[in-house]
Structure 1
Amino acid sequence: MTAQPTLKPERPFFSSGPTCKPPGWSVDKLDTRSLGRSHRGKYAKGRLKYAIDLTKELLGVPDDYLVGIMPGSDTGALECAMWTMLGARPATVAAWESFGNVWIQDAAKQLKLKDLQVLEAGYGEIPDLTQIPQDNDVVFTWNGTTSGARIPNTDWLAADRTGITINDATSAVFAMEMDWAKLDVTTFSWQKVLGGEAQHGMMILSPKAVERINSYDPEWPLPKLFRIKKKGKLDTSIFEGATINTPSMLATEDYIAALEWVKEIGGREAMFARTNANAKIVKDWIEATPWLRNMVADPAQQTNTGVCMVFQGEWIDSLSDEDKAAVPGKIAKKLEELEVGFDFNGYRDAPPGLRIWCGGSLESEDIARLLPWIEWAYEELKAGNL
């Protein structure tokens, strides 16, 4: 039997969203001068603009791209892009996990796009993206939050393609470099890699995306939260600190604190390094553990953020389907009771397994301390003690 470990993670937060706060985070460190103020007033609007400018700086977004704050988290930002830009030409939606499948449903059942190509792959795989015509608009997820599969490169996107690209990058930015030259719309939310609060999304537009918005009006009605045009053109005030509806200034200050921490430690490159180091610990452990395998077989497609794993071997194969499905949850529940690790069970719609978030806000030592506890809980469960 595996002995019960003695060391627990100091910060046992392994959720894939909202994710672990940056090291040293404390609510009393937040600048609260914007609270209780109108978000349209000079000071609060200036803080929103500062969040936009710092995002653009740290992500290396080109000068001629626009960055704005949107309601509804990444979902709101991504769907705003789909509702306002798609329908002008044939479109492709590529999906290989739950959120990408939502974008397919949006395109097929809500927008009812007339000339739509759908590319799908199961959890742990990515479809053949070279099938996408270069004159199609394309919606895709850079990194599959619920499957652990990411695109290995953007070679499948031609530099001179005529269609626009809409990139859901919510669990990728600040963990992977974005190929901005091939991206027209990129969206993400504050509560993923940076450990911020939920309900606010970011939308980054290329000049080609701006031109599409200015020259195209979709045939369907748009809800207020998706109306980003004013007098027939893109409302550029959204990208200068104005917002479509009222934002949380407390969440904004929390996001600013996370951005300032990233800048302090060395920018996005430092975040890439921290994330890669964290993911290597988990991936190496999976490789050395015979009763686990990475949900993604191709190493080039394995994420460095929400690393997903499934169980294998003689014991797991001997169980009924119901009992197999219960194994990850029992392990996660036991370690939560012991306050060893929170929220590292797999996504509810994914194949039963575990998912450990490895983004740059986590400390490697905490991840390393979690893994022996999983081994212990697995052996306890196998012996009938859980």
Structure 2
Amino acid sequence: MKRALNFNAGPAALPEAVLQKAQQEWLNIEDTGMSVMELSHRSQTFENIHNKAISLLKEIMDIPDNYEILFLQGGASLQFSMVPMNLLSTGKKAYYVLTGSWSEKALNEAGKIGDTAVAASAKDTNYTYIPSADEISFGEDAAYVHITTNNTIFGTQWNNYPVLEEVPLVADMSSDILSKKIDISKFGLIYAGAQKNLGPSGVTVVIIRKDLVNSSLTNLPTMLNYETHIKNNSLYNTPPTLAIYLLSLVLEWVKDQGGVEVLQENNTAKAKLIYDAIDNSEGFYKGHAQPESRSHMNVTFTLPDEAATKKFLEEAKLAGFVGLNGHRSVGGCRASIYNAVPLSHCEKLVGFMKNFKESYSSAAIKA
């Protein structure tokens, strides 16, 4: 069966073993004679799938008992609004660290709900780096500080998270959740769209510390209140059953691989391969992100000019590579190497990059 060399930024590659298991169960899951898409979300069969996903996530991420795990809809984009609706009270201010387009969007949505401020920003360099902890500034009126842990468009990632004492740290981890070991206790709230490392699009994971759940938000729309979903185990309304089922299969796969620690080792090795190819290309390929802020999920790089970029992408497509186009904000190319992207695919990409450089440079000399 033909399988693409998939470097899409999202929706992204899923583990082949997950797709194969889903295929086996497609018409008859748990001997019900139905697909998971046909099950009632109130059935015992789906409830078991749902609760298993929660249990696996808690185990794999080592989530403490004082946190709730929710499966919601609306993507990370809805969380841009739900977070301030639930955490930003009158007289308080939400502080945002700007490291890319998604943190800008989160800030803009929060500004529609209440008072906001910029705690730090890397915008002056077109987001080539992650601000250091001592650059982050917020006042005593802070309701929370928000960061985006990985920036898909610009290829930057937080290596060390800011440690806040009294102020909750809120993190959009949509594009690097499960890619490395983290200390959940450092965060008040984590949210992540599933379509990078967790599963398919359609479900969003929210991990929230219990003391941040505000039971007095009686005027908040029911579906936008975290307490609603906590009380109903994320089953207040019909959930995205297929997405949650596939998420549970991905979590099983992560556990079978040896957990997040093993995935972190793999991701480090994959990233090193590609960054070494960039750094050893004599300037033919140039990384957008500063070395100390480089992402292990999204490798962004440019070529000498637009003509070289166009030819690179054309030849890459013919060679079976998918999703290497860079975002218009940066240009060039982007290789998204999430958990499910095999090391062998990265090795093939590096081989292609080296061969393209040699052939393109030779053609330029002859011309």
TM-score by length of 2: 0.85
In the TM superposition, what is the alpha-carbon distance from 1:62 to its structure 2 partner? 1.0
1:328–1:346 contact (8 Å) kept in structure 2: no
Choose from 10, 24, 48 the match for 1:29.
Answer: 24
Task: In structure 2, list runs of 5 or more residues that go unmatched.
Answer: 30-35
2:107 is aligned with 1:104: yes
For 1:302 and 1:115, how far apart are their aligned partners in 2?
A: 28
Question: Structure 1 residues 206, 329: closer, same or farther in 2, change over 3 A?
Answer: farther
More relative contact order in 1 or in 2 (CA 8 Å, sep 6+)? 1
Choose from 317, 322, 345 the match for 1:366.
Answer: 345
Q: Which SS does the other structure have where 2:147 is aligned? A: strand
2:260 is aligned with 1:285: no
Equivalent residue for 1:332? 313
Equivalent residue for 1:15? 8
Question: Structure 1 residues 329, 167: closer, same or farther in 2, change over 3 A?
Answer: farther
In the TM superposition, what is the alpha-carbon distance from 1:330 to its structure 2 partner? 4.2
Q: Structure 2: which amino acid aligns with 1:345?
A: N
Aligned-residue identity in percent: 21
Choose from 220, 239, 247 the match for 1:247.
Answer: 239
Answer with 97-106 or 85-94: which moved more: 85-94
1:308–1:356 contact (8 Å) kept in structure 2: yes
For 2:223 and 2:205, how far apart are their aligned partners in 1?
A: 14
Q: Which SS does the other structure have where 1:214 is aligned? A: coil
In the TM superposition, what is the alpha-carbon distance from 1:128 to its structure 2 partner? 4.7
CA offsets 1:207-262 (integer angstroms, 9 cap, x no match): 3322xx23556xxx7555413335xxxx5234x3x334423322222211111111
Q: Structure 2: which amino acid aligns with 1:74?
A: A
Equivalent residue for 2:32? none
In the TM superposition, what is the alpha-carbon distance from 1:129 to its structure 2 partner? 4.3
In the TM superposition, what is the alpha-carbon distance from 1:147 to its structure 2 partner? 1.3
Question: Structure 1 residues 29, 237: closer, same or farther in 2, change over 3 A?
Answer: farther
2:333 is aligned with 1:354: yes
Equivalent residue for 2:33? none
2:186 is aligned with 1:177: no
2:147 is aligned with 1:145: no
Q: Which SS does the other structure have where 1:67 is aligned? A: strand
2:322 is aligned with 1:345: no
In the TM superposition, what is the alpha-carbon distance from 1:118 to its structure 2 partner? 5.1
2:273–2:350 contact (8 Å) kept in structure 1: no
2:79–2:191 contact (8 Å) kept in structure 1: yes
For 1:79 and 1:356, how far apart are their aligned partners in 2?
A: 30
1:93–1:119 contact (8 Å) kept in structure 2: yes
Equivalent residue for 1:6? none
Q: Which SS does the other structure have where 1:282 is aligned? A: helix
2:137 is aligned with 1:157: no
Q: Structure 1: which amino acid aligns with 2:333?
A: L
Question: Structure 1 residues 124, 93: closer, same or farther in 2, change over 3 A?
Answer: same
2:138 is aligned with 1:133: yes
Q: Which SS does the other structure have where 1:229 is aligned? A: helix
In the TM superposition, what is the alpha-carbon distance from 1:73 to its structure 2 partner? 2.2
For 2:270 and 2:52, how far apart are their aligned partners in 1?
A: 30
Equivalent pairs, count: 346
Root-mean-square deviation (Å): 2.6
Question: Structure 1 residues 332, 164: closer, same or farther in 2, change over 3 A?
Answer: same
Equivalent residue for 1:261? 253
For 2:24 and 2:258, how far apart are their aligned partners in 1?
A: 20
For 1:261 and 1:133, how far apart are their aligned partners in 2?
A: 40
In the TM superposition, what is the alpha-carbon distance from 1:325 to its structure 2 partner? 4.6
Q: Structure 2: which amino acid aligns with 1:151?
A: W
